[in-house]
Structure 1
Amino acid sequence: MATVVKMEASDSNRATRMTGGDALVAGLHRWGVDTVFGVPGVQLDEFFDGLSRGGGDIRLYHTRHEQGAAYMALGYAMVTGKPGVCAVVPGPGVLNAGAALSTAYACNARVLCLTSTVQSALIDRRYGALHEINDQTGLLRNLSKWSARATCASEIPALLDEAFCQLMSGRPQPVSLEVPPDILAQTAMIAYPDALPWLANPILDPEQIARAAALCADAKNPMIVVGSGALEAREEIRALAELLQAPVVSRHMGRGTLRADDDYALPAAAALPHWAEVDLAIGIGTRLTQLREWGMDDALKVLRIDLDQAEITRIAPPTLGICADAAEATAALNAELASRNVQRAPRVEEFRAIKQAFRDEVERDIQPQVGYLDVIREAMADDDIFVDEMTQVGYAARYALPIYEPRTYVCSSYQGTLGYGYATALGAQVGAGKRRVISVNGDGGFMYTMPELASAVLHKIPLIAIVFADGNFGNVRRIQANKYAGRVIASHLHNPDFVELARNFGAVGIRAEGAEGLRAALEEAKAADGPVLIEVPMNLETTASPWKHVHGRKVR
């Protein structure tokens, strides 16, 4: 774990009298934070006032709901790789942000949640103070990699430094910091050290790299599986794939590690039938859930490279586990393999055939979703960003939408958070700058954070959002009908006119019929200078089930 640099005696010479709220703002500047998403409230008044007086170039996006603020921080973090900061009031505000924090945890996203508490003297007293909930600290601890509470203003520099150390070293996951309102208002002599703390990551062991190279050299049919921990290691993993003539497989979080059109890149669903013949699985920055879902046996050897030691052994002890940064460890492995002159017969044509056969299958069977996704992909530049949702088109996108660059595909990972998409996409658009973000939603999920249309218009966020409206919680209805002989309950929806809804908020609203209608709508949307909402009517009865390729099955 990273540790905070201790305050030296000389630092007291630079100390300035400031409030706890000002100390938080100074710390955000210190760590290069340029964006905060939040909802103001009485317990955070001193922090927001600090942003007003000393925020400088920190952009503040205030939202209509705490879940919107936290989801926007999530989207910003996933697209940029930098910390996404949200500020929410305690109690109900923290609870409202909870789904976003749990999603950030699942997605390995660098989200910093700043919140408050009741007055320090009332904590744990259960007097019924405003926004009081039992053990808020315990709640945040279970949604965060690290959490803490300041008990005086002078503690804030050390705690905020540690929060950023936790965000920027080891496995990325959300962190939280509570500062009671009286501590935000408290004045003290405060100084941050000149130097940022050292961000510690594991040091490579050359003996482990040599053992890994021996495993790779002996393998006849290796497969590389990547997750979000591999996104910054594209060149190294591409070189490893070529050395070993191994496919690089990604399911959700690792998409974009290799370009989808790279000869060595395979969607997980396309790779599944070939898992039974793999003799070495190389998991890089991934939970490697294939071991659980696709199966494993004594003939399969496993090499894991991950920053989280606990993850390496979570499903099953690997043949060899290396706790290290993905790019650093893979580069060292490549150098060791090159020194051993490992050479393999080319398999590129084999991989191309597998990928093309899979593409032909989904293009034939998963309609109209694949047709819509093709239109969306045509409208996007390679580095534009796609944000999915728990909807029929979103499910198909997991395997049928080509992704070309890291951090351009945003999903909710194993959390499967219905309703996360629209607000998350707003934060992604803020982080993306001039690149465009396209958000796909179902009519059910979109309504979860629909009020953030107001935030999109207020802050001029040029997000293109598509709502595929079939009048149902489509997946729920499909499962019910299949499982209970056609009986369905509580899955039908009453919707507004989404085009008029968008226009009433001040956004551009467009209705599109079919794939060709969506193509024209996207051209119009790209020319707009503010937020756009496109409604696409869908018929659940004539929409193919996308689930055949979403979940794996045991093949060994």
Structure 2
Amino acid sequence: MKKITGGEAIIDSVVANGVDTIFGIPGAQIYPLFDGIYKQNLNLVVPRHEQSAAYMAMGYAKSSGKTGTFAVVPGPGILNTAAALCTAMGNCSPVVGLTGQVPTSFVGKGRGHLHELKDQRGTLKSIIKDAFFIEDAPAQTSQVVNRAFETAREGRPGPVTVEMCWDTMAAVDEFVTQAPTLTRQRGQELDVDALRSAAAMMARARKPMIMCGSGALHAAESVGELASLLNAPVSGFRSGRGVVSEDHPLGVPPVAARQLWDECDLLIGIGSRLEMPYMRWGNYMEYKQKPSAGPKLIRIDIDPDQMKIFEPDLGLVGDSDEVCRVLCDLLQGKVNPDPARLDQIAGAKAMAWRAIQRVQPQLSYLSVIRETLPRDGIYVPELSQMGFATWVGGLPVYAPRTYIDSGFQGTLGFGFPTALGAKVANPHRAVVSVCGDGGFMFAAQELMTAVEFKIGLVTIVVNNNSYGNVRRDQELGYGARYCGSELKTPDFVKLAESFGAAGYRVATPEQLKPVLERCFALDEPCLIEIVCERGAESSAWEFIHPRAAL
């Protein structure tokens, strides 16, 4: 027992859950939290916008597999993080947000106290995994914080928040910090009969395919073993890329997967919503609860609700690594994969790579980045022309957690602050953020954060003076009536230098290579502007929504 404030008690419990880094901005209701951070000597990164605090926590989590943590004031502060929170929900990132509340006697009264929301917890619960309120601080703080971290990590990971009233957080009382209980993933117990049925389906399949999502990121070894047993190509759309390296004979980028899709007789979805084959390759505007055509479908997912949202022929609810290991054991000596399959996969990969080369100049720049970025380096795209070119395989991915996307939310502006969080989590690895000029300006102020906290992120800004994809859509679908899509941009080199970061400008892939090598070697905040004529970039969308193979 020790006498401390409620805010200090929250931080003690956060530390007990293994946290050593917090992204946050202090304010009146949460001063005791930050006093606790100071007393615990935690690594505190203070961004220039609350939204960035949550994005940084998300990048930290997604790149490391650990839980990211941020702290902001209630009301407008926590609402400023909403875009990042729904993005973390979409890409399954374990994030815990710490915030305050109005004084106890004002809760639910609508009196108009500082930062008061009508129902802050209810608002948050509508977009995230859960939101917790600590009412009786001495009795509940440690228990609630532990439960919040467990909730963020367990099952399908996602963001949660913890709030405490202003007066409660400042009050001194006696607290006990309880050690968190490490529980097994709370999925259903594995269904042995379903596993045996799945193994039999796999053994009969002649041209199976595996598609991974973020639920397979921790299961690379077992997924690779299963793929090798079946001679099955392994692909992913965004979060699941790199589970099997795309330079491995069985690692297949998205366009190559489309080449193999029409002959596939069994699809094995592992920790994935399977957006690519059933939405991107089908009718993106029509919801179907189950496949109406195509191969047999087995889904492996920790979230039982996924089996109702999109119904497979056979659903296996459980941790993907555990399920894949059991399947590998069941399949030993019972599979006889087609030896010609490797040649078919290699042919599809070669054809796809040749086809996407017409997405220029993006592919030429991405080739330089891939050549320069170490195999374990981390690439964070944006919703941009360069970003869409990575969706189709323009940047091969070699390992899990080295390609961090916004998931189905498609959140413009997420990339730069998310990459900062990834670099904080991985200080000794190269991290590159590649943005368009539009998306970068959502969080350009965080260049100051990078400089102040010595975050050695390399940021590439492709400046086409527009929201490039919007402009193309208006050109093709609205008679070139450009409305809100053409932008005036600053001098990005001078902007970087004004913050104290190194700034460079290039106009060709050949110019990019030596500059990028220099920036990685410096390991300090650097910005590289790629000058691109407005409207000059080729579209990647024919490869993102292909109705037929090439």
Is TM-score (shorter-chain normalized) higher than 0.5? yes
How far 1:166 moved relative to its partner? 0.9
- Which residue of structure 2 lines up, in the alignment, with residue 4 of structure 1? none
Q: Do the aligned partners of 1:201 and 1:325 also contact (CA within 8 Å) in 2?
A: no
CA displacement, residues 302-339 of structure 1 (integer Å, 9 cap, x when unaligned): 11110000112312x21111111111100100110115
Distance 1:156 1:421 in 2: 34
Could you tell me which of 154, 164, 170 is aligned with 1:169? 154
Could you tell me which of 358, 362, 367 is aligned with 2:360? 367
- State which drifts further: 294-303 or 66-75: 294-303
- Which residue of structure 2 lines up, in the alignment, with residue 395 of structure 1? 388
Question: Unpaired segments of 5 or more residues in structure 2?
Answer: 283-290
Which letter maps to 1:307? Answer: I
Distance 2:229 2:340 in 1: 10
Tell me, yes or no, if structure 1 residue 38 matches structure 2 residue 31: no
Q: Do the aligned partners of 1:77 and 1:84 also contact (CA within 8 Å) in 2?
A: yes
Tell me, yes or no, if structure 1 residue 62 matches structure 2 residue 46: yes
Distance 2:505 2:178 in 1: 55
CA displacement, residues 497-528 of structure 1 (integer Å, 9 cap, x when unaligned): 00001001100011112101111211221232
- Which residue of structure 1 lines up, in the alignment, with residue 281 of structure 2? 294
Could you tell me which of 66, 74, 90 is aligned with 2:58? 74
How far 1:194 moved relative to its partner? 4.4
Which letter maps to 1:132? Answer: E
Matches within 5 A, 1:13-162: 15-53=1-39, 55-56=40-41, 58-154=42-138, 155-162=140-147
Could you tell me which of 193, 197, 209 is aligned with 2:178? 193
Distance 1:313 1:383 in 2: 36
Distance 2:545 2:158 in 1: 25
- Which residue of structure 1 lines up, in the alignment, with residue 431 of structure 2? 437
How far 1:299 moved relative to its partner? 5.8
Q: Which of structure 1's runs of 4+ aligned residues deviate more than 6 A?
A: none
Q: Do the aligned partners of 2:260 and 2:345 also contact (CA within 8 Å) in 1?
A: no
Distance 1:297 1:529 in 2: 51
How far 1:463 moved relative to its partner? 0.5
Which letter maps to 2:278? Answer: L
Tell me, yes or no, if structure 1 residue 184 matches structure 2 residue 165: no
Tell me, yes or no, if structure 1 residue 324 matches structure 2 residue 309: no
Aligned length: 537
Tell me, yes or no, if structure 1 residue 338 matches structure 2 residue 325: no
Describe the shift of the 1:264–1:21 C-alpha distance in structure 2 as closer, same or farther (beyond 3 A): same
Could you tell me which of 167, 191, 216 is aligned with 1:205? 191
Distance 1:381 1:351 in 2: 25
Describe the shift of the 1:195–1:286 C-alpha distance in structure 2 as closer, same or farther (beyond 3 A): closer
Q: Secondary structure in 2 aligned to 1:212?
A: helix
Describe the shift of the 1:424–1:195 C-alpha distance in structure 2 as closer, same or farther (beyond 3 A): closer
Which letter maps to 2:389? Answer: A
- State which drifts further: 486-495 or 383-392: 486-495
Q: Secondary structure in 1 aligned to 2:435?
A: strand
Distance 2:48 2:423 in 1: 17
Q: Do the aligned partners of 1:256 and 1:406 also contact (CA within 8 Å) in 2?
A: yes
Distance 1:323 1:230 in 2: 13
Q: Secondary structure in 2 aligned to 1:204?
A: coil
How far 1:347 moved relative to its partner? 1.1
Distance 1:356 1:279 in 2: 22
Normalised TM-score (structure 2): 0.95
Q: Do the aligned partners of 1:114 and 1:178 also contact (CA within 8 Å) in 2?
A: yes
Q: Secondary structure in 2 aligned to 1:406?
A: coil
CA displacement, residues 518-549 of structure 1 (integer Å, 9 cap, x when unaligned): 11211221232420011111013321112112
- State which drifts further: 199-208 or 111-120: 199-208
Q: Secondary structure in 2 aligned to 1:426?
A: helix
Describe the shift of the 1:341–1:446 C-alpha distance in structure 2 as closer, same or farther (beyond 3 A): closer
How far 1:552 moved relative to its partner? 4.8
Describe the shift of the 1:150–1:220 C-alpha distance in structure 2 as closer, same or farther (beyond 3 A): same
Distance 1:197 1:80 in 2: 19
Distance 2:499 2:32 in 1: 31
How far 1:237 moved relative to its partner? 1.2
CA displacement, residues 336-379 of structure 1 (integer Å, 9 cap, x when unaligned): 0115354443411110110011001112x111000000111111
Two-structure CA RMSD over aligned residues (Å): 1.5
Matches within 5 A, 1:501-540: 501-540=495-534
How far 1:219 moved relative to its partner? 1.6
Which letter maps to 2:368? Answer: V
Q: Do the aligned partners of 2:457 and 2:523 also contact (CA within 8 Å) in 1?
A: no
Describe the shift of the 1:453–1:190 C-alpha distance in structure 2 as closer, same or farther (beyond 3 A): same
Q: Secondary structure in 2 aligned to 1:302?
A: strand
Distance 1:401 1:87 in 2: 34
How far 1:191 moved relative to its partner? 1.4
How far 1:197 moved relative to its partner? 4.4
Q: Do the aligned partners of 2:17 and 2:180 also contact (CA within 8 Å) in 1?
A: no
Tell me, yes or no, if structure 1 residue 222 matches structure 2 residue 217: no
Distance 1:232 1:369 in 2: 30
Q: Do the aligned partners of 1:161 and 1:197 also contact (CA within 8 Å) in 2?
A: no
CA displacement, residues 35-91 of structure 1 (integer Å, 9 cap, x when unaligned): 1000110011010011112x23x2000111101111110110110010010101111
Which letter maps to 2:372? Answer: A
Distance 1:420 1:318 in 2: 32
Which letter maps to 1:27? Answer: S
- Which residue of structure 1 lines up, in the alignment, with residue 456 of structure 2? 462
How far 1:135 moved relative to its partner? 1.2
Distance 2:333 2:308 in 1: 29
Which letter maps to 2:61? Answer: A
Describe the shift of the 1:197–1:527 C-alpha distance in structure 2 as closer, same or farther (beyond 3 A): closer
Normalised TM-score (structure 1): 0.94
Tell me, yes or no, if structure 1 residue 305 matches structure 2 residue 300: yes
How far 1:134 moved relative to its partner? 1.9
Q: Do the aligned partners of 1:104 and 1:174 also contact (CA within 8 Å) in 2?
A: yes
Q: Secondary structure in 1 aligned to 2:200?
A: helix
Q: Do the aligned partners of 1:19 and 1:153 also contact (CA within 8 Å) in 2?
A: no
Tell me, yes or no, if structure 1 residue 239 matches structure 2 residue 225: yes
Aligned-pair identity in percent equals 40
Q: Do the aligned partners of 2:464 and 2:535 also contact (CA within 8 Å) in 1?
A: no
CA displacement, residues 146-165 of structure 1 (integer Å, 9 cap, x when unaligned): 21111121211111110111
Q: Do the aligned partners of 1:387 and 1:439 also contact (CA within 8 Å) in 2?
A: yes
How far 1:273 moved relative to its partner? 3.8
CA displacement, residues 473-496 of structure 1 (integer Å, 9 cap, x when unaligned): 111111001111121111111111
CA displacement, residues 159-185 of structure 1 (integer Å, 9 cap, x when unaligned): 111011112221111111111111111
Which letter maps to 1:435? Answer: R
How far 1:189 moved relative to its partner? 2.2
Q: Do the aligned partners of 2:99 and 2:162 also contact (CA within 8 Å) in 1?
A: yes
